Chain A
Amino acid sequence: MPAEPAKILRRALGLVPAGPHYFFHRHALIVRIAHWINAGCLAFLLMSGLQIFNAHPALYWGKSSDFDHPVLSLTAEYTDAGYVGVTQIGPWHFDTTGVLGASDVDGVRMARGFPEWATLPGPQWLAMGRLWHFAFAWLFVLNGLLFWAYAIAGGHLSRDLLPTKTDLAHLPREIANHLRLKFPKGENAKHYNVLQKLAYFLVIFVLGALIVLTGLTMSPTMDSALPGLLWVFGGRQSARTIHFICAFSFLGFFIVHIVMVILSGTWNNLRSMITGSYAIEGGKDG
């Protein structure tokens, strides 16, 4: 039977469960498109953002830069052994040679905030980093606004993303389940659990808004148009610091997201975000 090897392969890859199962349409087309555009944007924005950060690898709090008291800095100290990378966070100093503060570019140890493999473009090139960053910032914002409009007007937000009272009551149990790597199965896998709802809601509607607004606050023309932004974020340098924290919160979310996708069925999850189709274990009547 020619169908058999294909079936075995699909099972081995985890595309379909071994037991009884059926397929469920999990993600609307617009959600899938927005998801992948967003994923691409975040990669470009993070790496070009680190390139821009490297032009002055220090963060401050307040209206302007108090150069002697950065909140965080990635600096290089020149010693007999070459550059030593020092990461300073508040009163603490760490030797981060090779990664932060000082790292190799074409085999030569250089003073640079983030290493070459983390920045776009790789070499120090602020003008180009800004070009990439602003181009993808526009795409990120337009894609985000379209998704927001769809989620709010189309009911995706209230139906799937906003946690209900019952959801919140189940929060402790859900945390315990996640810690034991026990994920919802059958009918329960058809909707997001409360931790997913909270994570997606916060990332899409809070973190997304924050990173765009703090980005705009760094623009001197936007500050003349909307000076309230400065008041909200406590000044341009605070906004820059919050922008940086948001960027790494996105990275943190991404890492947890990827781990969860892998632990709860890599290929099934991946397929559902590409074709929309998600395999549910058990019979249709649960």
Chain B
Amino acid sequence: MAENRRGFLARASAGAAALMLSGCTSLSERKWVADLLSEVEVLTRHAQRLFAGPQTLAPEFSKRDIAPVFRANGTLNPGTADYNAHAANGFRDWRIEVGGLVERPLSLSMAELRAMPSRTQITRHDCVEGWSCIGEWTGTPLKLVLAAARPKADARYVMFYCADNMSQEGDAAQFYYESLDLLEAIHPQTLLAYELNGQALPIEHGAPVRLRAERQLGYKMAKYISRIEVVGDFAEINGGRGGYWEDQGYNWYGGI
């Protein structure tokens, strides 16, 4: 009798658990659930910024912490004819357009970017997947580029447009893009990086220039940057969520 009761209870609870599970998976597919859960991101962002403030630096490491092989993720080579031509030419003709809500739009060559004051930092790259790699990055603080372009009063976000097409062959092109708010964009460690470990940025890491935003996860740090746009909001840009992965459901706030 007791055995039967236990058997029944075990089956009932296993059944209930399975129901809960499939329930949660189908809940995950409902837009309102994802939207509701995404609201938590606002709470997380405010709470984290309460602690971190605008200027706290991500930890910097020593040379001996540098990973022997820095793992590359996402696009490893944009591979378009245009990009291949730039790569063959050592990116001498690569330009970064800076526009949008700025008083002085810029078009920077790599030589001009390199001529600006630089910052070198040994930092930890944290992938949203969970792994970390430490590397030494050199680049121009984004703050200096923005200061040169003079953002207008209604500027809120900085968009980064990239040369890597993320869609499958045959589908409409969707180039990688990302965004930071001004607070993160003018952070002292936020760089337009053109060197990794003292060498020109390798193609798999975003040559000729990628973003470093050291208090954020890896997907925020766009590679192969060709255009920077200062905007008031990004609701009308692509999927409207501020980045390629954000449009696929990832958080816009990448501090956690």
**B134 adjacent to A221 (CB under 8 Å):** no
**B224-256 vs A: 1/0 string, CB under 8 Å?**
000000000000000000000100111100011
Give Cα A225–Cα B132 distance, bound, in whole angstroms.
Answer: 18
B25 touches A65 (CB 8 A): no
* Known contacts A52-B130, A64-B124: A225-B52 contact under CB 8 Å: yes
A73–B40 CA distance with the chains assembled, in angstroms:
31
Contacts A64-B67, A126-B128, A236-B124; A220 near B58 (Cβ below 8 A): yes
The smallest beta-carbon distance between B28 and chain A, in angstroms, is 4
Q: Which of B18, B131, B248, B255 contacts A221 (CB 8 A)?
A: B255
Chain B residues 4 to 54 lying within 8 A of chain A, measured CB to CB, are 18, 20-22, 24-25, 28-29, 34, 37-38, 40-41, 43-44, 48-49, 51-53
Kindly report which residue of chain B lies nearest to residue A58, judged by CB atoms.
Answer: B131
Q: A131-B40, A132-B37, A219-B256 are in contact. Are A224 and B52 (CB under 8 A)?
A: yes
Answer whether residue B57 sits at the interface, using C-beta atoms and an 8 A cutoff: yes
- How many residue pairs link A and B with beta carbons under 8 A? The number is 135
Q: B134 — which chain A residues lie within 8 A by C-beta?
A: 63-64
| A67 interfacial by beta-carbon distance below 8 Å | yes
Residues B21 and A222 in contact, CB atoms below 8 Å apart: no
A268 within 8 A of B: no
Task: Contact check, B53 vs A225: say whether CB atoms are below 8 A apart.
Answer: yes
Stretch in B85-93, B107-115, B213-221 with 4+ CB within 8 Å of A: B213-221
- A220 near B28 (CB under 8 angstroms)? no
Q: Is B127 an interface residue (CB 8 A)?
A: yes
8 Å CB contact of A65 from B43, B131, B215, B255: B131
Q: Does B71 lie at the interface of the complex (its beta carbon under 8 Å from any beta carbon of A)?
A: yes
Shortest Cβ distance from B213 into A: residue: A220
Residue from the list A55, A230, A236 in contact with B128, Cβ < 8 A? A55
From the candidates A65, A126, A131, A220, name the one contacting B37 in the complex (CB within 8 A): A131
Asked whether any CB of chain B lies closer than 8 Å to the CB of A282, the reply is no
Asked, given contacts A63-B65, A131-B34, A132-B37, whether A224 binds B215 with beta carbons under 8 Å apart, the answer is: yes
The smallest beta-carbon distance between B248 and chain A, in angstroms, is 6
CA distance A219 to B37 in the complex (A): 18
CB nearest neighbor in B for A221: B255
- Are the CB atoms of B130 and A55 closer together than 8 Å? yes
* A123-161 near B? 1/0 per residue, CB < 8 Å: 101111011101100100000000000000000000000
* Residues 101-134 (chain A) with a chain B CB within 8 angstroms: 117, 120-123, 125-128, 130-132, 134
Query: Which single member of A55, A64, A67, A224 contacts B58 (CB below 8 Å)?
Result: A224
Which residues of chain A are near B65, meaning CB under 8 Å? 63-64
A240 at the interface (CB under 8 A from B): yes
The answer to the question of A237 belonging to the interface, with a C-beta cut-off of 8 Å to chain B, is yes
Q: Which chain A residues border B49 with CB–CB below 8 Å?
A: 221
Could you say which residues of chain A place their CB within 8 Å of the CB of B22?
Answer: 122
Flag if B216 contacts A138 (CB, 8 Å).
no
Any A CB within 8 A of the CB of B126: yes
When the two chains form their complex, are residues A221 and B256 in contact, meaning their CB atoms are under 8 A apart?
yes
Given contacts A138-B43, A223-B59, contact A125 B28 (CB under 8 A): yes
Chain A residues contacting B40 (CB-CB under 8 Å) are 131, 134-135, 138
Select which of B57, B131, B248, B250 is within 8 A of A224 by beta carbon.
Answer: B57
Q: Would you give 6 A-B contacts (Cβ < 8 Å), ordered by A? A: A47-B21, A120-B25, A220-B58, A220-B216, A224-B52, A224-B214
- B contacts, CB < 8 Å to A: 18, 20-22, 24-25, 28-29, 34, 37-38, 40-41, 43-44, 48-49, 51-53, 56-59, 61, 65, 67, 69, 71, 124, 126-134, 214-217, 245, 248-251, 255-256
Q: 10 shortest A-B CB distances, which residue pairs?
A: A221-B255, A127-B249, A225-B52, A131-B37, A225-B51, A219-B256, A56-B129, A65-B131, A56-B130, A55-B129
Q: Which residues of A contact B (CB under 8 A)?
A: 43-44, 47, 52-53, 55-56, 58, 60, 63-65, 67, 117, 120-123, 125-128, 130-132, 134-135, 138, 218-227, 230, 236-237, 240
